[in-house]
Amino acid sequence: MRRGDGLLSHDLLPGEKGPKDACGVFGVYAPTEEVAKLTYFGLYALQHRGQESAGIATSNGKKILVFKDMGLVSQVFDEGALEALTGDLAIGHTRYSTTGASVWENAQPTLGPTATGTVALGHNGNLTNIEELLDLLEERAGEGARARFDAGLATDTTVLTALLGTDLFPTLEETAIELLPRVRGAFSLVFMDEHKIYAARDPQGVRPLMLGKLENGWVVASETAALDIVGATWEREIEPGEFVMIDANGVHSQRFAKSDPKGCIFEYVYLARPDTAIAGRSVQAARLEMGRTLAREHPVEADLVIPVPESGTPAAVGYAQESGIPFAIGLTKNAYVGRTFIQPSQTLRQLGIRLKLNPLREVIEGQRLIVVDDTIVRGNTQRAIIALLREAGAAEVHVRISAPPVEWPCFYGIDFPTRGELAAVGHTLEELRIQIDADSLGHISLDGMIAATNQAANRLCTACFTGEYPITPPINARHLLATQPVEVAP
């Protein structure tokens, strides 16, 4: 059984695995609009949340059509494909798998039969009680149902799709309302039948999900930035534990569980677009404040503040503003590298991070640098960047990180490594500084990071920093919590 569907490659060495988030979802009900094109541009805005595959499902009231493929949104769809996806309502999905093969069969939206027609579903997050759900599927769909999914090819999304298709209830809405209280973990769902759009968010609201208003319809999306792109006005967030149905009569809401907000703080640190707002707080503003806090908590004498682009840029700007040390671009990122399936030759592999980043020697030579990034995962990328900067003539390299040390895996959709693979586990700050070859190293405090979000600490999930999980991790994944520290590669 594969764990959740998930994104987002860090600025990494070739072949190195970094934090990835669960996917991006989008849905639109707009009878007078070209819904496939609206969904296309919505997914385009959510491309950062999933870069392996993309898909769109539409309905004309009689049947659902699905088009999906491997690749970026702009690679999967062309004008002809979008013209063929006719209808009044649509959902879309961008995906980055967290484990196992990235194959067409696991691209979303997933499709399945229901008691009255068809369901198409897109999922952002990761479920933690998949074994219980498989038992439920066996109970409802008959003997052998679980075996088909236990073959190792299923995702939690396909299991949800199959459960929504069981015919115990006369409508998809009734089936969903009965099923959702049984589901545990992180799930922001957008799904549809031939006539209606549905959306649901887990009781903890781990992953974001937004509701927007078009002139002649409604939009649901992972981030407010996607609403902006399609000209929708933000209405509100889908509440944790809320189920929403959208049809010709508008938006209908009901609760399937009590709200217990535990939004993922890593959305503010790294995952969401800077032009998105979550729980009323601009992500850009939060990252700027994290940088300012870093400057207060970890000052150092230096000549320039430079970011690791793009993830470290807002915090670097904040650090420069607070410290009074000039901000500069010292590393140039190749914006067109993207995700490649071509393995670099040994010669290129030895060049390491240069495939993505190259130093500006005239900026950094002879300078004492403060290098700002969002996280240290394994540490190999930071070590490679520091080596680049020293080769280019940097006099000193002081590393500042706008998140606390990552010490615990995530079970809610971010594909962090196991504890044993995380650089901060089992090492002191000084040991880690030596391993990455920095002149100094400072992480923002947990309290400082939380304060930057303008959210109460008890409304946030900080498990990857604290090990305090708001939703019980799956039993069959406890091995990921084992501690076997590893050294940063030379």
Percentage with pLDDT > 70 across the chain: 85
- Stated as kind and residue range, the H or E segment containing 211 is strand 210-214
Spacing of C-alpha 365 from chain mean position: 36
What are the tokens at 310?
Answer: 């793009």
Identify the residue whose tokens are 């000052």.
299
State how far the alpha carbon of 347 is from the alpha carbons of 117, 197, 202, in Å.
Answer: 55, 51, 47
Say what the pLDDT of residue 102 is: 61
Residue range 61-88: mean pLDDT, rounded: 95
Which DSSP string corresponds to 127-154?
Answer: ES-HHHHHHHHHHHH-TTHHHHHTTTT-
How many whole angstroms separate alpha carbon 360 and alpha carbon 363?
Answer: 6
92-131, pLDDT tens digit by residue? 999 876 544 566 677 899 999 998 899 999 999 999 998 8
- Stated as kind and residue range, the H or E segment containing 461 is strand 460-461
- Average pLDDT score, the chain: 88
Nearest one of 170, 220, 224, 225 to 200, comparing CA atoms: 220
Q: Is the pLDDT of residue 314 over 80?
A: yes
Nearest one of 24, 21, 15 to 53, comparing CA atoms: 24
The total of other beta-carbon atoms located within 10 Å of residue 59's CB is 26
- Give the residue numbers annotated as catalytic, written as ranges: 23
State the first-to-last Cα distance of the chain, in angstroms, to the nearest integer: 35
Spacing of C-alpha 370 from chain mean position: 28
The 3-class SS string of 327-344 reads ECCCEEECCCCCCCCCCC
Of the ranges 165-169, 194-198, 358-362, which one carries the lowest mean pLDDT score? Answer: 165-169
How many whole angstroms separate alpha carbon 92 and alpha carbon 85?
Answer: 12
Cβ burial, residue 138 (10 Å; 0-12/13-18/19+): middle
How many whole angstroms separate alpha carbon 338 and alpha carbon 276?
Answer: 22
- DSSP 3-state assignment of 217? strand
How many whole angstroms separate alpha carbon 113 and alpha carbon 240?
Answer: 27
The answer to whether 29 touches 246, Cβ cutoff 8 Å, is yes
Which CATH number fits the domain 285-455+473-481, given the four candidates 3.40.50.2020, 3.90.550.10, 3.40.50.2300, 1.20.120.530? 3.40.50.2020
The answer to whether 214 touches 231, Cβ cutoff 8 Å, is yes
How many whole angstroms separate alpha carbon 398 and alpha carbon 396?
Answer: 7
Sequence-distant (6+) residues with CB within 8 A of 287 are 268, 269, 274, 314, 315, 318, 402, 452
How many whole angstroms separate alpha carbon 384 and alpha carbon 399?
Answer: 13
Q: Is the pLDDT of residue 135 over 80?
A: yes
The answer to whether 286 touches 452, Cβ cutoff 8 Å, is yes
223-280, pLDDT tens digit by residue? 999 999 999 999 999 999 999 999 999 999 999 999 999 999 999 999 999 999 999 9
CATH 3.60.20.10 given to domain 24-261:
yes
- Stated as kind and residue range, the H or E segment containing 38 is helix 35-45
Sequence-distant (6+) residues with CB within 8 A of 184 are 127, 128, 129, 132, 471, 472
379-423, pLDDT tens digit by residue? 988 999 999 999 999 999 999 999 999 999 999 988 776 888 899
Sequence-distant (6+) residues with CB within 8 A of 400 are 294, 298, 315, 319, 370, 371, 372, 373, 441, 442, 443
* Phi and psi at residue 111, to the nearest 5°: -130, 140
Say what the pLDDT of residue 171 is: 93
Residue type, 318: G
* Phi and psi at residue 35, to the nearest 5°: -65, -30
Q: What is the DSSP letter of 238?
A: P
Q: What angle do CA 301, 302, 305 make, to 5 degrees?
A: 130
Of the ranges 89-98, 219-228, 333-342, 424-433, which one carries the lowest mean pLDDT score? Answer: 333-342
7-34, pLDDT tens digit by residue? 233 334 444 444 445 689 999 999 999 9
Q: What angle do CA 484, 18, 328 make, to 5 degrees?
A: 120
Which DSSP string corresponds to 152-202?
Answer: TT--HHHHHHHHHT--SSSSHHHHHHHHGGG--EEEEEEEE-SS-EEEEE-
Q: What is the DSSP letter of 398?
A: E
Say what the pLDDT of residue 352 is: 63
What is the residue extent of each domain of the chain? 24-261, 285-455+473-481
Say what the pLDDT of residue 420 is: 81
